[in-house]
Chain A
Amino acid sequence: MSTIFDCRGDERIDGLFPELDVPARRVEGLIDRQLVRTQPVRFPNLSEPQVARHYTALSKLNYGIDDGLYPLGSCTMKYNPKVNEDVACLPGFTGLHPRSDGVRSQGALQLLFELTGFLRGIAGMADVSLQPVAGAHGEMTGMYLFRKYFEMRGDTKRKRILLPDTAHGTNPASAAMAGFTVTEIPSDASGRIDLGALEGELDDTVAGTMLTVPNTLGIFEESILQVTEKVHAAGGLCYFDGANLNSFLGKARPGDMGADVFHFNLHKTMSTPHGGGGPGAGPIAVSDVLTDYLPVPRVLCKDGQYELDWNHPDSVGSVHSFYGNFLVAVKAFAYILQLGDEGLRAVSENAVLNANYLQERLKKTYPLPYDELCKHEFVLSGKGLADGVSTLDIAKRLIDYGVHPPTIYFPLTVREALMIEPTETEGKETLDRFADILETIAVEASEDPQLLHDAPRNAPVRRLDQTQAAKKPVLKYPFDETPLA
């Protein structure tokens, strides 16, 4: 793949910026020579058509949600409504400086205030902060609130967070960023938290638990109320990872299950696009014992006027420059507004229907280690499909059929895991086609496994040597070497 640095540039390209309209004093007249750059940057000076063609060509090497099914488990790759992009591009939003005075930013403040209200209602919890900008960022902020809560109570012993063995990798990493250590709780034979094991760990060194509901196997913790009661009774707090909210939106609320912190992934549940890895938004909802510690600023409404509210002396502080990812919030707000209660419920109903339909059909071909009702996703195993064929082979073969593979090798509790989340924005027709393909691949696996080992063949590149990338990393353009042929 050629990069922008392989394009041949000119000595200079005019016309993007205007000529200087004030009397020139020149850099050397304004800044001490020792402060001025001596080594020019090696950026090619390119014409606009060159730039447009290069990035259009790059875009065609990507697979996006408009290309087809994107069944990445735990990622909720649903369709991103076009109107959301339009409203987030309104100049009244994009052109607003975060230090604008309150009078000039009433519309933005109102939107933040109203979205806060929506999310509070969806979570069924006491209050919400829109400041965290990613799921993991919400987790970390939640862990900060845990820390503050125990600090304020002078309870310094509580340094442990209990985590199910099915947890997302960000959970332990986020707990560590707040100074907690992690103790893993095993799952029972049905894939749920082992209540006995949980009880065995609950003591006065436990700050709380981080749970994913439903869990990363797509299974609802039927004993969720007992779990949260036990943790609370032991003096701990309950964090809920909201990655799987799409499975109970409009039907149940984490606040009613005993959550003390719940994070939203607006880029999952609320349909804002993932952008190839971000930006997202990870607002958190909290129970009433934690509201004082929420990040500042918050937004309040006084006599119909909206304002930023910095006056929370017990707040953990700020976790982002300003008010979170505002333009992402705009998209999520437009989405909730368009769906209304009925639409929100239809989301989870169809997401769960789609997942169960696919699970029912595919379990005839692929091992399903936890065979029961699933929520929005389920986990198959590629193990034992055929000798020498791995889940990676299956995933890469899917690419040849023009479909994005599911999440693979996660959760860690299932060997050769294929974690499939169809979302509500796929219809039966697409699901049937996907199942047909996976069934065909299963046949190929036993009849002609080389097809799988060699896959993908129809992609822009074939399997990449990721070991080399790890051992001798080339992390930037090698200007000093001969250009690639």
Chain B
Amino acid sequence: MRYIPNTLTDRREMLSSIGVSSIEELFADIPAEVKDRFRPLGIAGRSELEVASILGSMANRNKLADAVCFLGGGIYDHYVPSIVGNLVSRSEFLTAYTPYQPEISQGTLTAMFEFQTYVCELTGMEISNASMYDGATALAEAVLMAERIRKKGVVAVSRPLFAQLRRVVDTYCWASEIDVHEIPYAPDGTTDLDSLPEDVSAVVIQTPNAFGVIQPLAGIKDRIGDALLIVSCHPLSLGILQPPGAFGADIVVAEGQPLGLPMGYGGPLLGLFATRKEYMRQMPGRVAGRTVDVDGKTGYAMAVQTREQHIRRQRATSNICTNSALCALAATIYLASTGAAGLQQVAELNLEKAHYLADGIASIEGYELTFSGAFFNEFVVSVPGDAAVVHDRLVEAGFAVEAPDGLRSLGVENAFRLAVTEKRTKEELDQLIAALGGVR
């Protein structure tokens, strides 16, 4: 086998120095009954060439070539600069383990420290961890953290949350016996601030939300008593939007996929998690810190580890161990490549193009934007007649558009959600408008 260097001679020599006569003797401690029950998969090995060809065919069965992507809802068809994939695939980054030996892991640790800095700058928060699995688990862990701090047994969640976020929050809360109270939305698509609950551990707001609507955050913190304000956001939108930290958010989380990760059928993703310094000991996940070596030279090591499972066991702030380190590195390299200027530029491209498309569609007879709230790169349109029919027509015409079912659970009928990224050209936007029957 290509991945096993021992030769037949090696194996013989090794068995003899161990003092056994066969490999089978090395497995004598597994009960015979267990071994007798063993059944193989019934598959023969294949060459690398054959495997590459099989996987190639499977990839080709995902028919993408003809589709222009307007799908969103947390994962977007953003551009991934070449340098990102190129650098993260260096085997020193790709194949290293968690940096438990900091002296030979300074590459990973320095990048973690940079990542935390980028996340703090983006979100306007004081500290960040080195990543969570995805935006949904980051949000669920934020809720658990708020509950550890406030212990009210109930959290309030704005209704227009992406379905995947709500599902995971509900599951984690069920297991931790936390009640999830829902805050309704106002006609403009924002969270109904007159319905903010009292005496909860946390208030969870998403912005832009599941309707694409940007939630004005000013004043919310003052209206929720001692509840922690948790905000889930789109990281690229923060290139132009005031960060949640500026409005007193206590925990800010995000799905980091837009920062240089492929869509990859939804995984691996990247959870961003930032909070205030005062909650440092309650934060889940790994953190890198700057320190010095015995010669006084600057270096990086994992910090505040007494929160973590390998030390604190059942009293840890979370069980998370393996996280999304390589995705965090990709996001770091992405932001290093865009810089502040590029980040602002790409955010503006998203904003402008989404509005161009929205205007174009809204000018078609019978179509209108469902909500009047401000939006970033995603919006909901109400269609004349059956949204499912319109959806199918678009798919047939070669557009990848989300089915309307997703919005139904949020109480929105005959509408669908469209996302526009910097990758969409004016020509593609005009084609979509034309396909909906408009003239431009």
Contacts and interface: CB of A to CB of B under 8 A. Distances in A.
A349 B55 contact: no
Interface residues of A, number: 203
A31 interface: yes
B107 interface: yes
Contact of A133 (B3, B27, B110, B268): B268
Interface in A66-83: 66-67, 70, 72, 75, 77-81, 83
Nearest to A407: B100
Given A136-B321, A222-B29, A87 B52 contact: yes
Nearest to A322: B266
Give the residue among B7, B33, B118 with the most A Cβ atoms within 10 A: B118
Nearest to B116: A476
Interface residues of B, number: 207
A225 B17 contact: no
A220 B29 CA distance: 6
B389 interface: no
A42 interface: yes
Interface stretch (A198-206, A353-361, A380-388, A440-448): A353-361
Given A5-B117, A136-B309, A404-B104, 16 more contacts: A16-B338, A16-B342, A27-B348, A98-B75, A99-B73, A108-B265, A143-B175, A276-B108, A277-B99, A279-B322, A317-B168, A328-B267, A340-B45, A396-B103, A465-B292, A477-B114
Contacts of A63: 92, 96, 101, 104-105
A342 B266 contact: no
A143 B171 CA distance: 12
B356 interface: yes
Contacts of B397: none
Contacts of A356: 14, 18, 20, 26
B336 A4 contact: yes
A153 interface: no
Nearest to B123: A41
A100 B58 contact: no
Given A17-B346, A46-B337, A360 B303 contact: no
A56 to B, nearest CB: 7
A256 B64 contact: no
B23 interface: yes
A172 to B, nearest CB: 4
Interface stretch (B181-189, B223-231, B324-332): B324-332
Nearest to B170: A317
Interface stretch (A232-240, A284-292, A330-338): A330-338
A461 B265 contact: no
24 contacts: A27-B240, A54-B336, A55-B111, A58-B93, A59-B107, A62-B104, A87-B59, A95-B262, A97-B77, A101-B395, A101-B400, A173-B312, A177-B175, A274-B96, A274-B98, A275-B95, A276-B98, A317-B167, A318-B168, A321-B134, A322-B265, A327-B265, A352-B27, A405-B101
The listed residue with most B CB atoms (<10 A of its CB), out of A3, A104, A338, A469, is: A469
Given A21-B426, A360-B17, A476 B341 contact: no
A319 B168 contact: yes
Given A256-B38, A463-B294, A182 B374 contact: no
A181 B314 CA distance: 8
B71 interface: yes
B113 to A, nearest CB: 7
A11 B340 CA distance: 9
A90 interface: yes
A88 to B, nearest CB: 8
B360 to A, nearest CB: 9
A75 to B, nearest CB: 6
B339 A45 contact: yes
Given A338-B46, A373-B26, A404 B101 contact: yes
The residue among A94, A99, A334, A343 with the most chain B CB atoms within 10 A of its own CB is A99
A313 interface: no
B366 interface: no
A189 interface: no
Interface in A121-144: 121-122, 124, 133-137, 139-140, 143-144
Contact of B44 (A181, A340, A399, A462): A340
Given A35-B241, A107-B60, A136-B309, A173 B106 contact: no
